[in-house]
Amino acid sequence: MEEEKVEVQSGSKKFNFKDFDFKNFNYKKYLPFAAIALAVLVVIIILLVVLLGGGPKKVVKNFVNSLNSKNAEKVVKYMDFAGENAWKYSYDPDDFSKDDYKEFIEDYKDFDKDDEKEAKKDTQRDIEDSFDEISDEYKSYKFKVEKIKEVKKLGKDLYAVDAKVSLVAKPKDKEENKEIDSSDVMTFIVYKKKIINGGMSLF
């Protein structure tokens, strides 16, 4: 049986893989080009991670959307309690210095892991109670990020996000006139893709 040859047509010339001298090919000559191609590929991957993985805007939207799930465990997954403790309403996003950032990081690292677990547990319980109260009064509700107004970088992985958030809620008893249809601009503090301030005020 005759062996089939694999050929690649390039312009008017034919290239036969069987005739290529892999042993004596000068790979070093083409290494710089391979390095450049690899560097470009790395940049593309980083850009895709940033664009598809989402930044602080996406974090805020995901957090607000999680409130519609009525699932407290899902909500707290978007929250960082070491960050919440380190922030503690102590800082002004409009007047945040390098020293403030340094102090924030130190407090963040110093937060005890057991205290962090306890804070998460307490917050989850509070959110569950809030969901129960909402369910008692309203047959439906929906939080929504209408618009991201501004994103301000405060330091590495630390952002202040101003977002217009709306709430529409329909009461079970129409006669009580408790229908809600309102919106407000809120500031969320995001650290390492987690909410550390601004979320609980929605309850």
- Name the H helices within the chain: 31-53, 56-66, 72-76, 81-87, 98-110, 113-137
Tens-digit pLDDT profile for residues 8-43:
444 545 555 555 555 565 555 655 655 565 665 555
47 and 81 both lie in a single domain: no
Ranking 12-26, 81-95, 139-153 by mean pLDDT, the lowest is 12-26
pLDDT at 13: 54
Contacts of 79 (CB under 8 A, 6+ apart): 63, 120, 123, 194, 195, 196, 199
Does the residue 3 lie in any domain? no
pLDDT at 48: 44
Residue 128, domain CATH = 3.10.450
| Angstrom distance (rounded) from CA 125 to CA 123 | 5
Q: What is the mean pLDDT of the chain?
A: 81
Number of domains observed in the structure of the chain: 2
Does the residue 134 lie in any domain? yes
Does the residue 6 lie in any domain? no
Does the residue 4 lie in any domain? no
Confidence class for position 3, pLDDT limits 50, 70, 90: very low
DSSP helix/strand/coil, 73: helix
Does the residue 164 lie in any domain? yes
Q: What is the domain range of residue 170?
A: 57-202
Q: Which residue has the tokens 């000068």?
A: 26
pTM of the model: 0.72
Confidence class for position 68, pLDDT limits 50, 70, 90: very high
61 and 161 both lie in a single domain: yes
